[in-house]
């Protein structure tokens, strides 16, 4: 076995091995901790108790949550339902659609709503103890609320109310009881805004439908007069059964064409002209025009009489009759929708359904004393380990010059200087 020369010490005849330096080992450090176990336990307990005691003077937070069900999409009737099939831009004009949940979030996050809620006497009295300025109270009200839209179409309003440092039992009770009250105020203001929005939209829709209805009634009166004059002039009263069927079908298609044109005009104002919805409406309109053209030129069916094949007097009578039927259909739908919008305009009912109202919490939501105790114990344990490690290092430096040289080398290398030399024993 080859033995390094520096590890051999001669005492005459028999070589003696010099004791090699022992590398640091984890078990040695664990032994060191066991030796100072009382200090470790003491520092750990002191830190845990200190963190636990700190929770009694920290500001405490009480939280509550209200769950809301947005208003369901109401059943539609009349012309608008026929136009849109229950969706589209005219639904937005009606205000009968399910309001976008993103709009609810924007309303609750608005500065104006927070300022209105801050005027409430009870809310103002509590938050004024933190900041007496109008902006400060409104900011505190805003920061106390968070809202979220869940995937199951439930909208939640979360309220968190904080106390001062070292709160008294009375202050904790005030914060706890303010949670459900503040949640109710937020929900009430959101419902009031939504009702006003729906009533305003219904009023605008009523004005729009009323104008269209009056216009169609004037056109219908003119169509009646033209049909009556034609019948009196040419002594004709009615069409044949075969031609009547063609006129009725063509009138329905003509009514659908005008309805699609109205909807397309509204959609183009609300949406991008290149959107999928507008493109679909244009395709539907072209299809209706093609079907309607078949009644004029033929090809609608084997037993459907084309208007071009009807004698001139019969064709003119058919056109007048078709115009009357078309306007009658549109007027009927508009009349029905007008009455519905008048009802919606006067209706002032709650639009939000509260699934679970916020209640006064029995316990604070933060700080968690159990978590703070664990953090304190871990911090104390870590601090005690670091303390013992540093203390042991300085003890080694004092008794071993080589350890001191290593420390100086580390410091000088950080400063970019040359390495220090080991300090020799005198």
Q: Which residue has the higher pLDDT, 135 or 236?
A: 135
CB-count burial class (<10 Å; 0-12, 13-18, 19+) for 248? middle
Mean pLDDT of 186-206: 85
Q: What is the pTM of this model?
A: 0.61
User: By residue range, what is the domain housing residue 26?
Assistant: 5-55+368-415
pLDDT band at 64 (very low <50, low <70, confident <90, very high): very high
326/378 same-domain check: no
Residues 406 and 377 in one domain: yes
Same-domain status, 161 and 274: no
pLDDT at site 84: 41
pLDDT-derived band of residue 316, with 50, 70 and 90 as boundaries? low
CA distance 354 to 335: 35
Residue 157 lies in a domain: yes
Is 421 part of any domain? Answer: no
Report the DSSP beta bridge partners of residue 61. 162, 366
Residue 90: the pLDDT is: 39
In a domain, 426, yes or no: no
Confirm whether 422 is domain-assigned.
no
Question: For residue 182, what is the enclosing H or E element?
Answer: helix 169-234
Percent of the chain residues topping a pLDDT of 70: 69
pLDDT score at 408: 67
Q: What is the per-residue pLDDT for 99?
A: 45
Does 13 or 168 have the greater pLDDT score?
168
CA distance 192 to 194: 5
Q: Does 319 fall in a domain?
A: yes
Query: Rounded distance, CA 253 to CA 11, Å?
Result: 123
pLDDT over 70 (residue 403): no
**CB under 8 Å to 95, separation ≥6 — which residues?**
197, 198, 199, 200, 201, 202, 205, 344
Q: Indicate if 195 and 305 belong to the same structural domain.
A: no
> Highest-confidence range of 158-167, 291-300, 394-403, by mean pLDDT?
158-167
Rounded CA-CA distance 272/259 in Å is 20
- As a whole number, the mean pLDDT across the chain is 76
Tell me what pLDDT residue 182 has: 96
pLDDT tens digits for 77-95?
434 444 444 433 334 333 3
- The pLDDT value recorded for residue 115 is 92
100: left (phi over 0), alpha (psi -120 to 50) or beta: beta
| For range 60-85, the mean pLDDT | 64
- The tens digit of pLDDT for each residue in 381-399 reads 999 999 888 888 777 776 7
Lowest mean pLDDT among 34-38, 220-224, 300-304, 362-366: 300-304
Please report, for residues 30, 44, 229, 328, the alpha-carbon distance to residue 37 in angstroms, rounded to integers and kept in the order given.
10, 10, 115, 98
Please write the tens of the pLDDT for every residue from 1-34: 444 444 444 444 444 444 444 555 677 778 888 8
Residue ending a domain, choose from 313, 331, 356: 356
Q: Establish if 374 belongs to a structural domain.
A: yes
| pLDDT for the residue 412 | 72
Tell me the C-alpha distance between 232 and 227, whole Å. 9
**Residue where a domain terminates, one of 314, 331, 356:** 356
Domain identity same for 230 and 148: no
Question: What pLDDT is recorded for position 95?
Answer: 38
In a domain? residue 113: yes
- Residue 239 falls inside a structural domain: yes
User: Over the stretch 240-293, which tens digit does the pLDDT of each residue have?
Assistant: 554 566 667 777 777 777 777 777 776 666 566 777 778 888 888 888 887 777
Q: Of 72-76, 306-310, 316-320, which has the strongest mean pLDDT?
A: 316-320
Among the ranges given (28-42, 127-141, 159-173, 183-197), the one the predictor scored with the smallest mean pLDDT: 28-42
**222 and 147 part of one domain:** no
Token pair in block for residue 246: 């063609």
What is the model's pLDDT at position 425? 45
Residues 188 and 319 in one domain: no
- Check whether 187 has a pLDDT greater than 60: yes
- Verify that 321 and 404 share a domain, yes or no: no
Q: What is the pLDDT of residue 342?
A: 83
Are 65 and 107 members of one domain? Answer: yes
Domain count, the chain: 3
Q: What average pLDDT score do residues 93-100 get?
A: 42
Report the DSSP beta bridge partners of residue 67. 156, 356
Quick one: DSSP state of residue 86? T
Do 194 and 235 lie in a common domain?
A: no
pLDDT at 127: 94
CA dist., res. 230 & res. 317, Å (int): 7
Q: Where does a domain end: 334, 356, 378?
A: 356
- 215 & 338 share domain: yes
- Do 89 and 145 fall within a single domain? yes
């Amino acid at each position: 076995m080859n033995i390094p020369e520096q590890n051999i010490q001669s005492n005459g005849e028999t070589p003696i091995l010099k004791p090699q330096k022992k590398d640091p080992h984890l078990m040695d450090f664990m032994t060191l901790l066991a030796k100072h176990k009382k200090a470790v336990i003491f520092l750990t307990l002191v830190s845990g108790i200190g963190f636990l005691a700190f929770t009694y003077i920290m500001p405490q937070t009480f939280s509550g949550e209200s769950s809301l069900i947005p208003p369901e999409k109401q059943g539609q009737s009349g012309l608008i339902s026929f136009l849109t099939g229950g969706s589209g831009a005219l639904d937005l004009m009606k205000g009968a659609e399910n309001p976008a949940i993103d709009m609810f979030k924007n309303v609750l996050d608005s500065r104006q709503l927070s300022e209105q809620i801050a005027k409430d006497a009870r809310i103002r009295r509590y938050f004024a103890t933190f900041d007496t300025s109008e902006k400060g109270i409104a900011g505190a009200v805003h920061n106390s609320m968070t809202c979220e839209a869940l995937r199951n179409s439930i909208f939640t309003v979360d309220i968190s109310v904080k106390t001062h440092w070292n709160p008294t039992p009375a202050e904790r009770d005030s914060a706890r009881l303010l949670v459900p009250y503040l949640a109710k105020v937020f929900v009430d203001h959101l419902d009031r805004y939504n009702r006003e929005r729906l009533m305003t939209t219904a009023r605008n829709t009523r004005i729009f439908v009323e104008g269209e209805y009056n216009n169609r009634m004037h056109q219908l009166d003119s169509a009646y007069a033209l049909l009556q004059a034609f019948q009196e002039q040419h002594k004709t009263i009615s069409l044949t059964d075969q031609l009547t069927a063609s006129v009725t079908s063509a009138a329905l298609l003509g009514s659908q064409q005008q309805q699609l044109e109205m909807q397309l005009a509204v959609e183009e104002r609300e949406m991008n002209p290149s959107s999928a919805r507008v493109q679909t409406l244009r395709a539907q309109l072209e299809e209706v025009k093609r079907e309607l053209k078949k009644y004029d030129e033929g090809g609608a069916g084997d037993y459907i009489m084309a208007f071009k094949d009807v004698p001139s007097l019969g064709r003119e009578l058919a056109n007048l009759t078709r115009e009357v039927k078309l306007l009658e259909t549109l007027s009927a739908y508009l009349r029905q929708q007008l009455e519905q919008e008048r009802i919606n305009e006067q209706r002032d009912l709650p639009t939000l359904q509260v699934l679970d109202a916020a209640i006064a919490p029995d316990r604070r939501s933060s700080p968690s004393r159990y978590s703070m105790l664990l953090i304190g114990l871990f911090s104390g344990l870590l601090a005690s380990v670091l303390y013992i490690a540093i203390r042991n290092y300085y003890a080694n430096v004092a008794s071993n010059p080589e350890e001191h040289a290593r420390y100086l080398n580390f410091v000088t290398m950080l400063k970019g200087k040359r390495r220090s030399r080991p300090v020799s024993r005198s």
